[in-house]
Chains A and B, each alone.
Chain A
Amino acid sequence: MTSEPQGLSRSMHLGASTRGETVHPIMELRNLDVYYGNFHAVRDISLDVGANQITAFIGPSGCGKSTVLRCLNRTNDLVPSARVTGVIDYRGQDLYASTVDPIEVRRRVGMVFQKPNPFPKSIFDNVAYGPRVTGMKLDKSSTADLVEHALNKAGLWSEVKDKLDQSGFALSGGQQQRLCIARAIATSPDILLMDEPCASLDPIATSLIEDLMLELVNDYTVVIVTHNMQQAARVSDRTAFFSARVDEAGQRYGHLVEMDQTSKIFTNPSDSRTEDYISGRFG
């Protein structure tokens, strides 16, 4: 890894974490249920995602946090057997209304995945991909400007500016993940979803990505799923704690235990199960 990006310092963000107090929801989930075939995987989720905040979803494996995240840009639609009921209100529209085109949703709600997944294209073309497929009418120089802007935002510009025509695969894992973030930013989304974005990265690359999230939240709304509780504590404004439970029929399902300001979840949670989890007594 090379230089530290010009991100916000940790101390600045600790002050900023008071943002968690007021919520101007950009997305409101009400009684969300997700089924895979006959399997009722996630039950009765209601929570708000605050605009220009980082919302963290934490919880043990199989608690449904990634499933819920994937509902927010309708990537669950790509699983043939998946079915979603309930309402996700996004700026006054229900994401799962029959008139909503999932492609339009994904143009506004971008996503970064657990494992970096650059396309087999040059660094430049990776970043320009989103604007090109969404039909943004751009000439050559404005495409170049957009690519530079996105790579800058992702803190990758200085590292790749001399090799934009090289394959995205030529980068290190952490750089690839920042490339994927740049790629998502290039379409100017409203919300950025991140599904364990640091799970396959080393601590230095992780720290760069975390700084980046704190930078990005000035312009975007960020929702992150993480297994790393320190990460949730470091970056997020509000935290939702999910857990898994077994119903009468013996089916294991995910549900929301509680959601609150991150500082409250980690110091004084309302539910004892949250406290058990964050103090490492289970999960």
Chain B
Amino acid sequence: MSSSVKMEDFSLRSSSLRIGERVIRGTLFAASAFSVLITIGIVWSLLAPALEFFRQVPVMDFLTGTRWAPRFKPASFGVVPLIVGTLWTTAIALIVAVPFGLGSAMYLSEYASDKTRRRLKPVVELLAGIPTVVYGFFAIEFVTRVVLKDWMGLDVGTFSVLSAGLVMGVMIIPTVASLSEDALSAVPLAMRQGSFALGANKMQTTLRVVFPAAFSGIAAAVVLGISRAVGETMIVALAAGNKPNISSNPLEGAQTMTGFIANAALGDSRVGSLEYDTLFAVGLLLFMSTLIINFISIRLVRRYREAY
């Protein structure tokens, strides 16, 4: 019929004000805004004391100096030893976590039966639930003393980068394994079938088809592992010691950025003193590092994301 037909009580306007909808929308927005605000708050609280620190210590002296002795007289604020300590423990952790994490992800996703996967995956993830202070004691009491000294006969001190790094690697295995497994499992079955139908075996299919297809997720998993290792505090504070040290020998102890903060924060630095501000300068550097790592991770994920 024609549009000239008119009806009583016919309105296309909303029958209610839909207040409920708006309240829900507002609440959800507040929830997501909360974490953004907190991040800004963290940066702010770091920034003010850190800027105070850099007013007294030039940024370049801080970033390039090779002697870290904030409590000595004369004090020296070269952060390089702490960065080297962090790089050492992180690198050793990755040497452990990447092969074991990816290996178990490939096994769980491609080789294990459904039943095995359902039982094994929670066990792997359990490693992530162990408090890091427990890992720290495990590093000192078992890895350093028993594994490195007694079994391997290494000339390792009470504190060592090697021990802290190894245990930290164990700690991030579940992060790498679980996220990589998710990425591998998300690759469509059709892609595997396509590979098998061409006469490829399981390993070829896994390494040449499934793995590249899941690369963005795997890269994200590894990068998340890196940022956990960089930010990890308790294990390194306990097992790596608190002696700033630029050394090429992983059997020696060293202090990391996080190790310094944990150690110094327990001390009695007066609020507003240079020593107090030092904590925030290192904290800011740490925050920037993990921020850059996460940024790289996002770029990697975007670049290699496959549209399947």
- Give residues in A with beta carbon < 8 Å to B: 73, 75, 78, 80, 103-104, 106-107, 110-111, 113, 115, 117-121, 129-130, 133-134, 169, 180, 183-184, 187
Contacts and interface: CB of A to CB of B under 8 A. Distances in A.
A129 B198 contact: yes
Contact of A106 (B114, B198, B209, B213): B198
A153 to B, nearest CB: 16
B190 A117 contact: yes
B264 to A, nearest CB: 48
B16 interface: no
Given A120-B212, A120-B306, A180 B196 contact: no
A72 to B, nearest CB: 11
B199 A111 contact: no
B204 interface: yes
Contacts of B204: 133
A103 B201 contact: yes
Contacts of A184: 197-198
A183 B308 CA distance: 18
A78 B201 contact: no
Given A110-B197, A118-B194, 9 more contacts: A75-B196, A107-B199, A110-B198, A120-B191, A120-B213, A129-B209, A130-B199, A133-B198, A134-B200
Contacts of B306: 120, 169
B199 A119 contact: no
B295 to A, nearest CB: 24
Contacts of A129: 195, 198, 200, 208-209
A70 B198 CA distance: 13
B305 to A, nearest CB: 10
A130 B200 CA distance: 7
B193 interface: yes
Interface in B164-199: 188, 190-199
A124 B1 CA distance: 59
A77 to B, nearest CB: 9
B209 A73 contact: no
Given A129-B198, A187-B199, A120 B308 contact: yes
B213 A133 contact: no
14 contacts: A75-B197, A78-B192, A78-B193, A80-B114, A103-B200, A110-B198, A111-B197, A113-B190, A115-B190, A130-B198, A133-B198, A134-B199, A169-B308, A184-B197
B12 interface: no
Contacts of A78: 192-193, 196
B191 A119 contact: yes
Given A115-B190, A117-B188, A169-B307, A103 B199 contact: yes
A177 to B, nearest CB: 12
B201 A113 contact: no
Contacts of A134: 198-200
B113 interface: yes
B199 to A, nearest CB: 3
Given A119-B213, A120-B212, A129-B208, A180 B194 contact: yes
Interface string B108-129: 0000011000000000000000
Contacts of A169: 306-308
A183 B191 CA distance: 13
Nearest to B198: A130
B201 to A, nearest CB: 6
Given A129-B208, A133-B208, A169-B306, A117 B194 contact: yes
Contact of B193 (A80, A113, A118, A120): A113
Contacts of A180: 194
Nearest to A129: B198
Contacts of A117: 188, 190-191, 193-194
Nearest to A167: B306
Nearest to A193: B197
A120 B201 CA distance: 18
Contacts of B213: 119-120
A133 B188 contact: no
Nearest to A126: B194
A75 B193 contact: yes
A202 B209 CA distance: 28
A118 B190 CA distance: 9
Contact of B212 (A104, A121, A187): A121
A206 B85 CA distance: 62
Nearest to A74: B196
Contacts of A119: 191, 194-195, 208-209, 212-213
Contacts of A80: 113-114
Contacts of B212: 119-121
A104 B199 contact: yes
A113 B194 contact: yes
Nearest to B197: A111
A196 B208 CA distance: 26
Contacts of A75: 193, 196-197
A113 B189 CA distance: 12
| Top 8 closest pairs, chain A to chain B, by CB | A107-B199, A111-B197, A130-B198, A133-B200, A117-B190, A117-B194, A120-B306, A120-B213
B127 to A, nearest CB: 28
